[in-house]
Amino acid sequence: MKVLPIKEAANVRDLGGYVTRSGKQTAAKKVIRSAAIDTLTPTDKQYFAEYGLQTIVDFRSADERAKKPDQVIEQVENIFLPIFPIDETGVSAAPNQLFNQIQNGQAAHEQMIEVYRHFILDEHAKKQYRRYFEILLANPTPQKSVLFHCTAGKDRTGFAAAVLLKLLGVPNEIIQTDYLATNVYLKPRIDAMLAEAKTAGASAELLHEITDLLAAKPEYLAASFAEIKQTYGTFEEFVAKGLQLNAQAIADLQKIYLV
């Protein structure tokens, strides 16, 4: 894993360099995870172009995308792939929506567990993640990369990264380490938001709720995999029936994204 030196976006990481159970490594300059990219500088955009970025996948809702559209990078395709359109599912992993639910009395921790269960249970979400893998499969050229992101690069993005790494044979403990690394790379933003809330008079209880909302926690990702076991029995069955990826697709992913 390599943190990319992008000045005006957070949590931007190349997923190359992880050693798999078979002894191979995930390929560099092939897949990048990120938080929102609406404030990229010209230097940032040039860096991405020179890095080999070919495709951007935006997991955010229509409202998030409209308010803070991705910066346009010349000759890079941008694909809108909302995981949870509110008008279709009634569920969103958008921070603003979740924060509104906190204000209405729903505990953030419970919200986040529900979001991660919905990745498995919601038919639209599974269809969108299936499309995400189709995009990855259409990227066979070495050192040409796909970037996928949401707002914080934590939940919708974190789940997408975890499933990809698991399909590539990366051990579970490394997958969790990658997932939790978000807390390191978002810490300045989280600290700033908590300080702002405290200055505005937020109670200790509300600050705790905001922390639960903004942090990556082991039990959140674990909720997805527990739901996979409950609903499908095994991860392999979830991939085959939930994501509709066959053995050939998995073999192709490993061919493209492992070295």
Task: Tell me the per-residue pLDDT of 68-100, one tens digit each, with 9 for 90 and over.
Answer: 999 999 999 999 999 986 543 344 455 555 566
Q: What is the pLDDT of residue 254?
A: 98
Cα separation, 168 vs 255, whole angstroms: 9
| Rounded percentage of the chain residues whose pLDDT exceeds 70 | 92
Question: What band does 104 get if pLDDT is binned at 50, 70 and 90?
Answer: low
